[in-house]
Amino acid sequence: MTNNLPLSHALADVLVLELSRTWAAAFAGRLLADAGATVVLVEPADGHPLRHEGPFLQDHPHPEASASHLFVNAGKRSLALDLPAQAHLLLPLLRQAHAFVTDVPAEELDSSGLSWPRLHQENPRLVMTRVTPFGDTGPYRRYQGTNLVCLALGGQMKVTGDPGLPPLSNAGAQAEYQGGLAAFAGTVANLLLAEETGEGDYLDLSIQDVVANNLEGRSLTFNLGVMAQRSGLCPSAVYGVYPCADGWVFVNAVSPSLWERLKAAIGLPQLDDPRFASQASRLAHNDELQAIIASWTVSMTSDELRQLMRQGYPLTVAETVASLLEGEQWRQRCYVHSVRHPQAGEVPVLGPLWEHPPEWSPRPAPLLGEANGELLGDGDRQG
């Protein structure tokens, strides 16, 4: 659309070192790679922990065949080192690098000679982002955190799930994903500053902070005393998930105009009843309304509902991993890339989240230590 190179090339001249152990920093590195940066993933000699998390090809644990690794480390180079003993080998690379993204505890960085003051002295324009469960300051800065713990302490879990059941984590590593997105954006923001001023900054990101920041209704509690509750699949008849003949569909008619459009899609005369004439009366007759809408949704298939959705009716069909991979929308957006990995075979890798040429494809996730020779020279070859 413009003469600019696509955003997938925006960081083509940028070198990033990623020293990570779990998802947040790994996501940040992946997004930087999707923007064209050269991202060197620094791994321990036995491989990044996500290589050991799976799920694995045919369920056989193997460090080159973990789906987590094949996705989140796609596009990166791998430097395998005996850590922390060989951490000093990173200094020459960090002198050339533009950004350093890590989740390693500050004490470990200090003892490896990779503290921010040291790196800032060695390479004043370097930007550094440390994304950790609780950040560098505050009483919990030494607390142990996992994705689940950050979702709990960041407030997102208490409102998710059914009212009569325990709070529920959503699938994947969503607290870490949010932390990774923030670390990515924050790193690019600091790259802009460093290029403008010649001086790099350090960004201290807490995943708990990010999770709490991304919470929708907190202001209602803080300012009005209204508490959000777990509300399960269908918080109200006009805003919730309904079963359909072969899956699920979200019905959203929270405003009068959306209600009119929903009625047009459903086409049942019962909905013209005075009980459902206003927002307030629809809420007052919630259960009757829900029963009528459900009687219609279960008579419809996902394909039929998807057609209505595409015409702008307030219905959203639940897709599965398989239906998304086969869907026309992603084909047109070139969002899925079939990437040939030397050990795992052809795997679908999503990305980037922004404009890219149709022929763009990420490099497959790296074999452990594949860039050691190139980055360290023969003297230090390892793994």
Partner 1 sequence: MDWRTGRLPLKGLLVVDWSVFWAGAYLGMMLHDLGAEVVKVESPYNWDPMRTILDVNPGARGAQQALPPEERCNLNQHFNEWNRGKLSLAVALEREEGRRVLLDLLAKADIFIENHRPHVKEKLGLAYEDVRRVRPDIIYLSISGFGQHGPERDALALGSPVELASGLFSLNGYHGQPVPAKTGFSYADPVSALVALGAILLALRQRRQSGQGRFIDIAMRDALSFGIGSAFVDWAINGRERPRLGNRHPTYAPQGVYRTYGPDEWIAISVRNDQEWQALVRLMGSPEWATDPELATAEGRRRQHDLVDQHLERWTSQHCARALEAALQEAGIPAGAVLDYRQLRLDPQLNARGMTQEVQHPLFGTEVRTRSLWQRGPCSQPIDRPAPCFGQHNRYVLREIVGYSEHEVHRLEEEGIIASSIHPTPQHD
Using CB under 8 A as the binding rule, whether residue 233 contacts partner 1 is answered as yes
Label residue 242 left, alpha or beta by phi (over 0 means left) and psi (-120 to 50 means alpha).
beta
x/- mask, partner 1, residues 250-279, rule CB under 8 A, reads x-x-xxxxx--------------------x
Using CB under 8 A as the binding rule, whether residue 225 contacts partner 1 is answered as yes
Using CB under 8 A as the binding rule, whether residue 5 contacts partner 1 is answered as yes
Using CB under 8 A as the binding rule, whether residue 197 contacts partner 1 is answered as yes
Using CB under 8 A as the binding rule, whether residue 1 contacts partner 1 is answered as yes
What backbone torsions phi and psi does residue 179 show, to the nearest 5 degrees?
-60, -40
How many Cβ atoms from other residues are within 10 Å of residue 244's Cβ? 22
CA distance linking residue 333 with residue 244, whole number of Å: 27
Pairing of strands 345-350, 336-341: antiparallel
Using CB under 8 A as the binding rule, whether residue 95 contacts partner 1 is answered as no
DSSP symbols for 198-248: S---EEEEEHHHHHHHT-SSHHHHHHH-PPP----S-SBTTEEEEEETTEE
CB of 379 to partner 1, least distance (A): 35
CA distance linking residue 150 with residue 207, whole number of Å: 7
Answer for which of 113, 319, 367, 382 binds partner 1 (CB under 8 A) is: 319
HSE-CB at 174 with a 13 A cutoff on CA atoms is 15
Using CB under 8 A as the binding rule, whether residue 242 contacts partner 1 is answered as no
Using CB under 8 A as the binding rule, whether residue 192 contacts partner 1 is answered as yes
The pair of structure tokens assigned to 255 is 């405003």
Answer for which of 79, 87, 98, 184 binds partner 1 (CB under 8 A) is: 184
Using CB under 8 A as the binding rule, whether residue 105 contacts partner 1 is answered as no
What letter would DSSP give residue 66?
B
Answer for which of 71, 116, 276, 296 binds partner 1 (CB under 8 A) is: 71
CB of 374 to partner 1, least distance (A): 26
Which residue, 78 or 174, is less far from partner 1 as judged by CB? 174
Using CB under 8 A as the binding rule, whether residue 55 contacts partner 1 is answered as yes
Which residue, 88 or 338, is less far from partner 1 as judged by CB? 338
Answer for which of 63, 105, 113, 135 binds partner 1 (CB under 8 A) is: 135
Answer for which of 355, 370, 371, 383 binds partner 1 (CB under 8 A) is: 355
The pair of structure tokens assigned to 55 is 């799920």
